[in-house]
């Protein structure tokens, strides 16, 4: 009888232990799952990809601009000689020390006024060092993997093909730059495959298009004279099948991309506010907008020495999709062309553009102080910063001001958030400097 009771007791203890172990195991597993879920949620919540866009970086102040400043001779609707390269590069480094900058894009006109000769001379090497290495290599001090993906601009093409090849070679072999030819695509390693950048050469594209001389009426409206066409330089024209098929390459590359965010960069904008380069934008819109509106999230450009944020509704190039009931998303258009040069925004021209082209929405346009303000000579340099989080892209314009006495001061950034699948009126903007 005793042995039976002991056996029953041990069985009961074993069962209790098993139940306790099972309960503890379940609790531990549940706790582990909660921790893993929390970590996953935190990772998803905190994942942010930030990058910078700099344009028209390659100006170094020439001696004659100082004389102009002393005499009070400064331009209104043209880009004066003063360079903001040194000051803006310092601002960029400070900004990226305190904000997320995983990579950068460089939007052309990297070397003023005429590119380089490509002769591997002391002059070329000195300019490459002064314009690229000194201002931008320090960005790697805090992030050894930081890379800048460049394109070329019209000033880079003013010399010979030999000089263009020399610049591309330098930018393909000198960190932090990573330029894989005149046009290319790249998934920045720091972005984890979520971003793909598509680089095109708009100077080559323009050689195959009709571009008129830009002329305005006194009220800022366009005044085209079709007898006045710009003639491209022969060495800029496409030299091989790949260059001739750049738009086909861009279309296929965008279509086949698996990245969540697809950004196209070129030098020339498809919208602008300066009033003296709009005919190039006219020429580019019919060939670029159908591609960009269908497959890209944003287009980045320089050329205008201003900072601008616009949207194109895409309604003019996606009529078939609209008729079929498809929802279309506006194209985000960012101009960041005042890293080293500054130009006035032509207020009358901008107003006429928005009235004539209802598909255009300008959220921000800032250049030198406009002509109708008391101080018409304040320089405005700067760059764009984009922060990607979830389905939102937040664009900030970081600005640096120099007044007529040469004093510089930072200003609060313009900020606007654009969501995937948005309509034009669903952006969230704060524009203290507009």
- CATH number at 372 reads 3.60.21.10
Q: Are residues 83 and 106 in the same domain?
A: yes
Q: CB–CB of 210/229 below 8 Å?
A: yes
- Cβ contacts of residue 381 below 8 Å, gap of 6+? 84, 87, 88, 338, 339, 340, 341, 342, 399, 400, 401, 402
Least confident window among 146-160, 266-280, 399-413: 399-413
Q: What value does the mean pLDDT take over residues 379-404?
A: 90
Q: Are residues 187 and 213 in the same domain?
A: yes
The residue behind tokens 């205008």 is 304
- Mean pLDDT over all residues of the chain? 84
Q: What's this model's pTM, rounded to 2 decimal places?
A: 0.85
Instruction: Determine phi and psi for 281, rounding to 5 degrees.
Output: -65, -40
Q: CB–CB of 314/289 below 8 Å?
A: yes
Q: What value does the mean pLDDT take over residues 289-318?
A: 97
pLDDT at 64 over 60: no
Q: CB–CB of 300/53 below 8 Å?
A: yes
Q: Are residues 133 and 14 in the same domain?
A: no
Q: Are residues 54 and 35 in the same domain?
A: no
pLDDT at position 424 is: 60
Residue 311: how many CB atoms within 10 A of its CB?
A: 24
* Cα angle value 322/328/331 (rounded, 5°): 130
Q: How confident is the model at residue 422 (pLDDT cuts 50, 70, 90)?
A: confident
Q: Are residues 14 and 65 in the same domain?
A: no
Number of domains in the chain: 2
Helix or strand or coil: residue 416?
Answer: strand
Q: Which of 119-133, 222-236, 363-377 has the highest mean pLDDT?
A: 222-236
Instruction: Return the higher-pLDDT residue of 79 and 414.
Output: 414
Q: CB–CB of 382/355 below 8 Å?
A: no
**Domain that includes residue 8, residue range:** 1-46
Instruction: Return the higher-pLDDT residue of 239 and 75.
Output: 239
Q: Are residues 332 and 384 in the same domain?
A: yes
Q: Are residues 146 and 32 in the same domain?
A: no
Q: What value does the mean pLDDT take over residues 283-298?
A: 98
pLDDT at position 349 is: 96
Q: What is the pLDDT of residues 128-187, one digit of tens each?
A: 999 999 999 999 999 999 999 999 999 999 989 999 999 999 999 999 999 999 999 999
pLDDT at 426 over 80: no
Least confident window among 8-22, 351-365, 402-416: 8-22
Q: Are residues 33 and 149 in the same domain?
A: no
Q: Are residues 419 and 341 in the same domain?
A: yes
pLDDT at position 211 is: 96
Q: Are residues 132 and 18 in the same domain?
A: no
Q: What value does the mean pLDDT take over residues 9-28?
A: 42
pLDDT at 247 over 60: yes
pLDDT at 434 over 90: no
Q: Are residues 226 and 299 in the same domain?
A: yes
Q: Are residues 228 and 98 in the same domain?
A: yes
pLDDT at 71 over 90: no
């Amino acid at each position: 009888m005793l042995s039976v009771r002991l056996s029953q007791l041990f069985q009961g203890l074993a069962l209790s232990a098993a139940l306790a172990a099972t309960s503890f195991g379940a609790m531990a597993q549940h706790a582990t799952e909660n921790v893993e879920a929390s970590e996953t949620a935190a990772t998803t919540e905190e994942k942010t990809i930030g990058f910078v866009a700099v344009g028209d970086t390659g100006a170094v102040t020439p001696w004659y601009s100082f004389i102009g400043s002393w005499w009070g001779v400064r331009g209104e609707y043209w880009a004066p000689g003063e360079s903001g390269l040194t000051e803006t590069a310092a601002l960029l480094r400070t900004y990226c020390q305190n904000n997320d900058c995983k990579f950068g894009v460089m939007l052309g006109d990297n070397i003023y006024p005429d590119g380089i000769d490509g002769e591997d001379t002391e002059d070329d090497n000195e300019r490459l060092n002064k314009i690229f290495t000194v201002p931008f290599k320090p960005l790697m001090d805090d992030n050894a993997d930081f890379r800048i993906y460049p394109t070329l601009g019209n000033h880079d093409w003013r010399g010979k093909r030999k000089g263009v090849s020399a610049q591309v070679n330098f930018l393909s072999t000198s960190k932090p730059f990573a330029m894989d030819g005149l046009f290319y695509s790249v998934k920045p390693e720091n972005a984890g495959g979520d971003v793909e950048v598509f680089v095109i050469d708009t100077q080559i594209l323009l050689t195959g298009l009709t571009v008129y001389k830009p002329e305005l009426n006194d009220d800022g409206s366009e005044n085209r004279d079709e007898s006045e066409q710009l003639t491209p330089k022969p060495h800029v024209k496409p030299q091989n099948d790949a260059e001739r098929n750049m738009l086909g390459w861009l279309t296929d590359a965008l279509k086949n991309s698996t990245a969540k965010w697809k950004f196209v960069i070129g030098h020339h904008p498809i919208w602008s506010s300066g009033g003296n380069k709009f005919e190039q934008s006219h020429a580019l819109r019919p060939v670029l907008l159908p591609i960009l509106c269908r497959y890209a999230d944003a287009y980045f450009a320089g050329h205008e020495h201003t900072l601008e944020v616009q949207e194109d509704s895409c309604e003019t190039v996606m009529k078939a999709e609209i008729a079929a009931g498809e929802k279309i998303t506006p194209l985000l258009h960012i101009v960041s062309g005042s890293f080293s040069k500054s130009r006035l925004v032509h207020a009358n021209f901008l107003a006429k553009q928005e009235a004539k082209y209802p598909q255009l929405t300008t959220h921000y346009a800032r250049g030198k102080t406009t002509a109708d303000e008391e101080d018409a000579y304040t320089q405005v340099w700067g760059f764009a910063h984009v922060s990607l989080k979830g389905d939102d892209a937040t664009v900030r314009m970081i600005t640096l001001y120099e007044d007529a006495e040469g004093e510089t001061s930072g200003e609060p950034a313009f900020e606007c958030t654009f969501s995937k699948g948005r309509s034009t009126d669903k952006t969230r903007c704060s524009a203290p400097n507009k």
